Chain A
């Protein structure tokens, strides 16, 4: 595919690896924010191309992984209502809430449907005026515009049987939460290219000023990631942190204004709980008062959850290290904050697998644990069961 394959060229990747090896003088820890980048790093073996001075740690950029169990419980409760068609991205289906997951809600007779876009959910509402269609709106800034557009269109076309369960989250407040952690090891960031395609990167400048960390807006293909690492190291070695843009073919400094206006019209910024991390102020999007009619929580009078702006109101599950089942040995919270690598968790690959996940990062196709499981199979088998190949 054009504009994709050329960025996977192995010879150029090796040249980039050599350039990185020439540049690096000291050990550095760099965090890639987005789960899509984590998967590319493991899929293409980018971490293995890098000199040992460089440690890549994996950020919280997996919306599925950070959606609190209580929010999943709301989706499960909605799916149990006979009039509701609950629409969700496929990734969310097997993420455990405290009362089961969407998959089991469907097995119990709930009408749960996988959609590619919230616009498909809106279309379903048009075709089924006798039903209530709810879209489970998870995602970062990349996904917020299309969810906003679905609500905007529903309002314009007076589609009254459509609503959303708003669970969108924002990246910069999470980066700041990571930097504020006393255990923070991050010295530089690869910021998420598609988030910045929407938002631009002006908002990162204050993070660089206050925390003295370089931030490189980075794409998702192997050469993108290698260039992002080179640009980040260049600033680290020189001691000159700044915001740089590796992904200039898609990202401009001010971002996509039309998309930003749409998001501002439909949503308002709110405090939000992140699974495994806890409450992060101003890190989520809720429907603005003008579009409150499209809020599934209000329409169906769901009980207020951990996102109602009351710090500490969430159950232990939302902020606990496990972020899985209450009795779990799962350490998803530490994985999500980049404090440990997935294979440092005692449950990794044994009690916890994609078929039987304890924590959300093992469920999602973008979760760091799932990436380690998928692409490090040989190592895991060798450790647990002896060589199997």
Chain B
């Protein structure tokens, strides 16, 4: 039920009463009218997360890559650790 999908804002308008902010959002080719009342700073070109017709956040494009940078950091740390262990072992075994 808490499903929200990312879509790109292609147009910003208002609803017919002119009181609230709506826009057209492109979901991979399917364009739907979405309520933008809760993302007042959103602009055309921004990606928003949309739940039941309401945009609930603007996707942070820089943070969108953090899943991958975290993985690299973890692997780097593991690799460094392994190297460090190998080095320590080599030192222990080396003739003094």
Which residue numbers of A lie inside 8 Å of B, CB to CB? 1-4, 7, 12, 15-16, 19, 22, 34-36, 61-64, 89, 91, 116-120, 138-140, 142-143, 145-146, 149, 153, 156-157, 192, 194-195, 197-198, 220, 223-224, 227, 230-231, 246, 248-251, 256, 258-259, 262, 364, 366
Contacts and interface: CB of A to CB of B under 8 A. Distances in A.
Interface residues of B, number: 38
A62 B6 CA distance: 21
B77 to A, nearest CB: 9
A146 B53 contact: yes
Contacts, number: 139
Identify which of A120, A197, A230, A231 gathers the most chain B CB atoms within 10 Å of its CB. A197
A36 B51 CA distance: 13
Interface in B47-67: 47, 49, 51-54, 56-57, 59-61, 63-64, 66-67
Contact of A89 (B1, B8, B56): B1
A119 B66 contact: no
Contacts of A230: 70, 74
Contacts of A366: 1
Given A197-B57, A256-B38, A250 B71 contact: no
B39 interface: yes
A224 B66 CA distance: 10
A224 B67 contact: yes
Nearest to B3: A36
Given A19-B74, A249-B59, A258-B37, A197 B4 contact: yes
B67 A149 contact: no
Contacts of A118: 52
Given A146-B53, A153-B20, 10 more contacts: A1-B27, A15-B71, A19-B78, A139-B1, A142-B51, A145-B56, A146-B54, A156-B17, A250-B56, A262-B37
A194 B66 contact: no
Contacts of A139: 1-2, 52
B19 interface: yes
Interface string B1-35: 11111101000000001011000000110000001
Contacts of B63: 248-249
**Of listed B35, B37, B56, B61, residue having the most chain A CB within 10 A:** B56
A258 B35 contact: no
B75 interface: yes
Contacts of A2: 6, 8, 28, 47
B40 interface: yes
Nearest to B28: A1
A141 to B, nearest CB: 8
Contacts of B59: 3, 249-250
A250 B54 CA distance: 14
